[in-house]
Structure 1
Amino acid sequence: MAFLALGTPLPALAQSSDPASFDPEITTILKNWMTENHIPGMVFGVVKDGRLAYVKTEGVQDLVQKRPVTPDTLFRIASMTKAFTALSILKLRDEGKLALDDPADRYVPELRGWTYPTTDSPRITIRDLLTHSAGFVTDDPWGDRQQVLSQTAFTALLRAGVPFTRAPEMRHEYANLGYAILGRVIANITKAPYRSFVEQRLLTPLGMTASGFDVLAHPKDKRAIGYRWENDAWAEEPTMKDGAFNAMGGLETSATDYAKWLSFITSAWPPRDGEDTGPAKRATVRQIMRGANNANVFHRYATGGGKQCPGALAYGMGWRVITDCDYGTVLAHGGGYPGYGSHVMVLPEYGAALFALTNRTYSGPSQPVWDIAALLTAKGVLVKRVEPVSADLASFYTAAQTVWTSGTIDALQGRVAMNFPMDRTAVNWAKVLAETKAKSGTCETSAPIAADGALSGTFTWKCEKGSIEGTVLLAPTKPITLQSLGYAFEGKD
């Protein structure tokens, strides 16, 4: 299902190749990684332009019957469930049922008697839980084994209180406990089980009819059985039933169904006019990028990631938010669970997402997902959306070309912001232009401007002796005026 059929079509992306054209290369990456990591079965998918554009299955979903993995095989996706929990919280916020900066104990009364680590500790908020900044200790793998905990036992755990590793809001520290508490928030507000809200308000509207939390009710012949690798052999992990920690990692889904979720997520970009018919508003989906400001240096999960260009990593709401030197914004998350490993990579600026699901304990397939993303980007399959050039930016770029050709700023008369003549006089503009043109030699000025937004852009002109790297920055005035113009010369090596 292409989610875009439910709403306004996205602006078209540049024409690019079909991922299936590179099936041999993709298959090699997947098979090599599976062999190295002892993976019984795996499914990989590319979601592009609102549909599952490519899916590849390898191995078996169970080692007894040796049923092959298919696009409809059901896998536990572990912590990738957190994205569904976070969006559920944002939906309740949209409906006026909570605010993100509300104290969590407003909705979970068992938290009210907690002893905080310091007298000046702030009370934990909903936002703290979303961003893993509540002061809880990292709880992998303890949290994973709490999946089967009963609601009664969870209530007792919360009523007794938990030890903190630090005061809330001091730093990010990944805690499954926090998302389990969010599940209780959702249940208490809706007066229904957490899973009911997700299944009825997210999964059903998206047509994810095979997915859900009650894994024991799912057809066994459709389920990927989870295994661990120990003593040079596979051993079956016990199937964990739905329990009180389901909000942190309990969802089971297939590649076919999960692609519908990713089609919906990617359809939120770019912001635009038109109908907004999804199970959550596009603007709400885009807010998953917003979170804690505890950023860290990030090296790609790909092969040789430590040697590749560094980026920045922070935790948003149910997603790790990465600023990458090539891809721009990346939303990513892994899923590690007894019997399962998964990874998802969303490229909002490309209208695409890649994911992989496996059935081996903690076998997070981040490396092959990122390696394939690099392959498909290099091959032109994944193409970044081009920011449209606004009429105002185009008009001022034409003026910038005239300024360069004429050697004066006469073409800007009456169109500049009040700071412009104060920052450089007309006489000095003529001087700087003449000096720069002498350095560059003749330049080809017909290249288009690349928009950074409606009010800013950059351009590159090839010249006899090098290039001009130019900038146009408009001012937030009505009528729109020019606040800055630059022509930086770069000589040939």
Structure 2
Amino acid sequence: MKLRLAAALVLAPLPALAQAPAGQIPPAQVTEIGDHFAKYREQNPTLGMVYVVIKDGKPALSAMVGTQTPGGAPVTLDTRFRIASMSKAFTALAILKLRDDGKLRLDDLAETHIPEMRGWTYPTSDSPRIRIRDLLAHVGGMVTDDPWGDRQQVLSEAQFSAMIAQGVPWSRTGGMAHEYSNYGYALLGRIITNASGEPYQAYVGRTILAPLGMTATTYDIAQVPRDTFALGYRWEDEKWVAEPELRDGAFGAMGGMITTANDYAKWIGFLLSAWPPRDGAETGPVKRATVREMVQGLNFVRTGPRRAAPEGDKCIVATAYGMGMRITSDCDLGTALEHGGGYPGYGSYVVLAPERGIAAFAFTNKTYTAPAVPVWQSLWSLAKGVAAEPRATPLNPLLAQMHDAARAAYAAGDVKPLDGKLAMNFLLDRDAAHWRTEFARIKGVVGDCPTAEPLQPTGNLSVNFRWNCTKGKLNGQILLAPTNPPTIQALRFAPRRN
């Protein structure tokens, strides 16, 4: 309590959201999102904070509160913050780009690209040697190294080489469990350097940051103008105490990036632009399919309730680590990409919901203060309204034709209208006579079904439907077979009486 009251004396009140283009987000949700962040900051005092909500690839809401230093200039959308482990997504995408360019393979042994690893002794004689893929997914067997890893930022390349050559103590045999490793992502930085022929900072800058116009983003603190830098602080002994300003070094691939809200919004807009899959020219620095590859949760799913969900929330989420992002299957948002950043003097968090085309992130300049709760809550608020509807799966016209034939078969009480549209298994699984019996049984429950609701495709070869019947509803599914042309392998019904 004493900390909260003392900190409140030096904190500015949270203002109304500064930018909210008309029509993008309803006013009630604008207020609700602002309340989420205000409550968070009341409970977790921070010196400065900026947050942004992205919709359709561009900022839809943003707010800045507090100062870059105690009593100093206010934070803005152009204030530089360290984003710590949110840097890992840039490292992962750089690895994937090198893979696309034929410079490496994800199943390459890491030691192929880092000679200093070749002398490592593994924990058991049957331990697998670490692949690039294992480093991306944190399954190499190295120990979780927060917060030790943050302090290795400043290592020179020579010091890092010597560290690698010494080997590591093992937490476990590789491939047995997910265990978050900053060291592992620092090794990915060295792989980028060796595979590309230039320092990983230069490679990321040239191939990703520059094409996206992220001109204010860097790994090198020496390049950041002092008047735009949010200095990092911790709250200690009833006052703000400056954290050391760690220079750029060999460990930066795990968490060394410095950026602005305006620049980071360009990155988030680019990631979201990879959805949905579509025809058309590639316009980003990395292929859309490659960006989507980052969301493949490759290992060791964990389940549990949603953090800070509303009272009575029954959603159980599943989370796995993809490549530079955690991947969560959320009941309201669908597939979500998330990651936090904790660092001496900084905390940050980002969540993307690509199936709805929305994202939110926040930066602070207080040690290990990652505002995950209000970021998640902001997207849940958007999902409740009409401003961020899930993107509809396109309807394959062939499915509409098959649906019409299925309706005709039901009306006739016979599969005859489906002639020429059935896969070879269909009548083996239930012959025509038994289908007539089944149609009669269902009609006895719900009656005739004169109208149908809009189709709900679940893929290019499957669709759910609902028919309005005289005595109830008839839900069903059509599933096509992988034949050319596609034919019906399954027709399923679930009648429901009024």
Give the TM-score category using the shorter length. over 0.9
C-alpha deviations, 1:120-172, integer Å up to 9, x for none?
11111100000000000111111111111222211111111110111111111
Percent of paired sites with the same residue: 50
Separation (CA, whole Å) in 2 of partners of 1:394 and 1:108: 54
Question: Are the equivalent residues in 2 in contact too, given 1:16–1:383 (CA < 8 A)?
Answer: no
Question: What is the Cα-based RMSD across aligned positions, in Å?
Answer: 1.8
1:182 aligns with 2:197: no
Q: Which range moves more in the overlay, 479-488 or 401-410?
A: 401-410
- Match for residue 44 of structure 1? 51
Question: Are the equivalent residues in 2 in contact too, given 1:77–1:252 (CA < 8 A)?
Answer: yes
In the TM superposition, residue 400 of structure 1 has moved relative to its aligned partner by 1.7
Of 147, 151, 157, which residue of structure 2 is paired with 1:151?
157
Q: Aligned letter for 1:61?
A: Q
In the TM superposition, residue 407 of structure 1 has moved relative to its aligned partner by 2.0
In the TM superposition, residue 243 of structure 1 has moved relative to its aligned partner by 1.1
**Change beyond 3 A, Cα 1:386–1:131:** same
Q: Aligned letter for 1:292?
A: L
Separation (CA, whole Å) in 1 of partners of 2:245 and 2:337: 29
Q: Aligned letter for 1:367?
A: V
- Match for residue 74 of structure 1? 80
Separation (CA, whole Å) in 2 of partners of 1:19 and 1:330: 22
1:316 aligns with 2:297: no
C-alpha deviations, 1:10-56, integer Å up to 9, x for none?
xxxxx984266633222111111011011122111122212222212
Separation (CA, whole Å) in 1 of partners of 2:63 and 2:414: 59
Q: Aligned letter for 1:47?
A: I
- Match for residue 32 of structure 1? 39
Separation (CA, whole Å) in 2 of partners of 1:232 and 1:306: 37
Separation (CA, whole Å) in 1 of partners of 2:344 and 2:482: 53
Separation (CA, whole Å) in 1 of partners of 2:44 and 2:416: 66
Separation (CA, whole Å) in 2 of partners of 1:184 and 1:85: 10
Secondary structure at the residue paired with 1:133?
coil
Separation (CA, whole Å) in 2 of partners of 1:177 and 1:301: 28
Separation (CA, whole Å) in 2 of partners of 1:228 and 1:427: 76
C-alpha deviations, 1:371-422, integer Å up to 9, x for none?
1111111122211100110111111111122222222222101210001001
- Match for residue 459 of structure 1? 465
- Match for residue 23 of structure 1? 30
C-alpha deviations, 1:42-91, integer Å up to 9, x for none?
111122212222212222222131x2221111111111100000000001
In the TM superposition, residue 246 of structure 1 has moved relative to its aligned partner by 0.3
Question: Are the equivalent residues in 2 in contact too, given 1:19–1:376 (CA < 8 A)?
Answer: no
Of 386, 399, 406, which residue of structure 2 is paired with 1:400?
406
> What pairs with 1:80-91 in structure 2 (closer than 5 Å)?
80-91=86-97
Separation (CA, whole Å) in 2 of partners of 1:306 and 1:151: 51
Question: Are the equivalent residues in 2 in contact too, given 1:102–1:125 (CA < 8 A)?
Answer: yes
Question: Are the equivalent residues in 2 in contact too, given 1:172–1:292 (CA < 8 A)?
Answer: no
Q: Aligned letter for 1:390?
A: N
**Change beyond 3 A, Cα 1:140–1:466:** farther
Secondary structure at the residue paired with 2:452?
coil
Question: Are the equivalent residues in 2 in contact too, given 1:458–1:470 (CA < 8 A)?
Answer: yes
- Match for residue 273 of structure 1? 279
Of 138, 146, 149, which residue of structure 2 is paired with 1:132?
138
- Match for residue 251 of structure 2? 245
Question: Are the equivalent residues in 1 in contact too, given 2:50–2:64 (CA < 8 A)?
Answer: yes
Q: Which range moves more in the overlay, 402-411 or 151-160?
A: 402-411
Separation (CA, whole Å) in 1 of partners of 2:175 and 2:31: 47
Separation (CA, whole Å) in 2 of partners of 1:490 and 1:44: 47
Separation (CA, whole Å) in 1 of partners of 2:340 and 2:237: 25
Question: Are the equivalent residues in 2 in contact too, given 1:38–1:229 (CA < 8 A)?
Answer: no
Q: Aligned letter for 1:177?
A: Y
- Match for residue 471 of structure 1? 477
Separation (CA, whole Å) in 2 of partners of 1:247 and 1:444: 61
**Change beyond 3 A, Cα 1:18–1:326:** closer
Question: Are the equivalent residues in 2 in contact too, given 1:17–1:380 (CA < 8 A)?
Answer: no
Question: Are the equivalent residues in 2 in contact too, given 1:135–1:169 (CA < 8 A)?
Answer: yes
Secondary structure at the residue paired with 2:146?
coil
Separation (CA, whole Å) in 1 of partners of 2:26 and 2:275: 21
- Match for residue 352 of structure 1? 358
1:168 aligns with 2:171: no
- Match for residue 488 of structure 2? 482
Separation (CA, whole Å) in 1 of partners of 2:238 and 2:269: 39
Gaps of 5+ in 2: 1-21
Separation (CA, whole Å) in 2 of partners of 1:121 and 1:29: 46
Gaps of 5+ in 1: 1-14
1:107 aligns with 2:113: yes
1:447 aligns with 2:453: yes
Q: Aligned letter for 1:170?
A: M
TM-score (ref. length: structure 2): 0.92
C-alpha deviations, 1:443-466, integer Å up to 9, x for none?
453211111111001112344554
Question: Are the equivalent residues in 1 in contact too, given 2:135–2:188 (CA < 8 A)?
Answer: yes
Question: Are the equivalent residues in 2 in contact too, given 1:43–1:70 (CA < 8 A)?
Answer: yes
1:368 aligns with 2:374: yes
Separation (CA, whole Å) in 1 of partners of 2:146 and 2:470: 59
Secondary structure at the residue paired with 2:61?
strand
**Change beyond 3 A, Cα 1:249–1:92:** same
Question: Are the equivalent residues in 1 in contact too, given 2:445–2:496 (CA < 8 A)?
Answer: no
Q: Aligned letter for 1:57?
A: M
> What pairs with 1:254-293 in structure 2 (closer than 5 Å)?
254-293=260-299
Question: Are the equivalent residues in 2 in contact too, given 1:45–1:354 (CA < 8 A)?
Answer: yes
Q: Which range moves more in the overlay, 30-39 or 234-243?
A: 234-243
Separation (CA, whole Å) in 1 of partners of 2:47 and 2:179: 31
**Change beyond 3 A, Cα 1:80–1:396:** same
1:98 aligns with 2:104: yes
**Change beyond 3 A, Cα 1:60–1:462:** farther
Of 35, 40, 63, which residue of structure 2 is paired with 1:56?
63
> How many pairs does the alignment contain?
477
Question: Are the equivalent residues in 1 in contact too, given 2:80–2:259 (CA < 8 A)?
Answer: yes
Secondary structure at the residue paired with 1:394?
helix
Question: Are the equivalent residues in 2 in contact too, given 1:302–1:366 (CA < 8 A)?
Answer: no
In the TM superposition, residue 307 of structure 1 has moved relative to its aligned partner by 4.5
Question: Are the equivalent residues in 2 in contact too, given 1:440–1:465 (CA < 8 A)?
Answer: yes
**Change beyond 3 A, Cα 1:306–1:185:** farther
- Match for residue 13 of structure 2? none
Of 393, 398, 415, which residue of structure 2 is paired with 1:387?
393
Separation (CA, whole Å) in 1 of partners of 2:370 and 2:452: 48
Q: Aligned letter for 1:147?
A: Q
Q: Aligned letter for 1:241?
A: R
**Change beyond 3 A, Cα 1:177–1:407:** same
Q: Aligned letter for 1:72?
A: D
- Match for residue 294 of structure 1? 300
Secondary structure at the residue paired with 1:289?
coil
**Change beyond 3 A, Cα 1:405–1:234:** farther
**Change beyond 3 A, Cα 1:26–1:324:** closer
In the TM superposition, residue 439 of structure 1 has moved relative to its aligned partner by 1.5
- Match for residue 193 of structure 1? 199
